Amino acid sequence: MADRRSHIPNEPMPAPGDAAQRATFLDAREILERVRASFREVRTALEGLTPRDERASLLVDLLVRRQRELERALEASVRDVPDDVLGAQIQYAVDPGVEVPSVPPADAADAIVAWLSRHDAALERRLRDASLRIEIPAARELVEAVADLVAAHERRIARELASLRDV
């Protein structure tokens, strides 16, 4: 059953199983919480890896450090955001959360990098899509800034991995 927030006023409730039933409203605060949760899931998955060789261990350590930095950067970017911006409503056709699939084995460095890259790309796409649905300019800019943060994180990881491969 759809919750009340997923119902559009003055329109009939969608039939069970109807795609419209999945429509939901979130505010910017809820989107940021889902981004935080996604970042934590990625970090936890990376921290759970136990590489057997030094090169894989260095990669995992680097990715964990960068993920922590990303979490701190997100917190810093939203620290002074006013409540009216955080409360800006956004309508979604589907939930904006990004599921974090199982991390590849610790010694599969390329697979780990591809896994992280797919996650970041999916998260960035969802954030960009969300920003298009926000009418309050300050809230739209906030969500776009978080998408930019994810994109910058991905570029930084790519540069660092390229320099590691050159060594």
- Domain at 53, CATH number: 1.20.1260.10
Task: Give per-residue pLDDT as tens, 24-66.
Answer: 677 888 888 989 999 999 999 999 988 888 888 888 999 999 9
> How many domains, the chain?
1
Inside any domain, residue 12? no
Q: Which residues of the chain have pLDDT under 50?
A: 1-21, 93-94
pLDDT at 98: 64
pLDDT at 23: 53
**CA–CA gap between residue 164 and residue 21 (Å, rounded):** 47
CB < 8 Å & 24+ apart, contacts of 36-45: 36/71, 36/74, 37/97, 38/97, 38/98, 38/100, 38/119, 38/123, 39/67, 39/70, 39/71, 39/74, 40/71, 41/100, 42/67, 42/100, 42/116, 42/119, 43/67, 43/68, 43/71, 45/100, 45/102, 45/103
Q: What is the DSSP letter of 27?
A: E
Inside any domain, residue 1? no
pLDDT at 111: 86
Inside any domain, residue 2? no
Inside any domain, residue 106? yes
| Full domain range(s) for residue 103 | 28-86+97-166
CB < 8 Å & 24+ apart, contacts of 107-114: 107/51, 107/52, 107/53, 107/56, 109/55, 109/56, 109/59, 112/46, 112/49, 112/59, 112/60, 112/63, 113/59, 113/157, 113/161
Q: For the chain, give the longest Cα–Cα distance.
A: 63
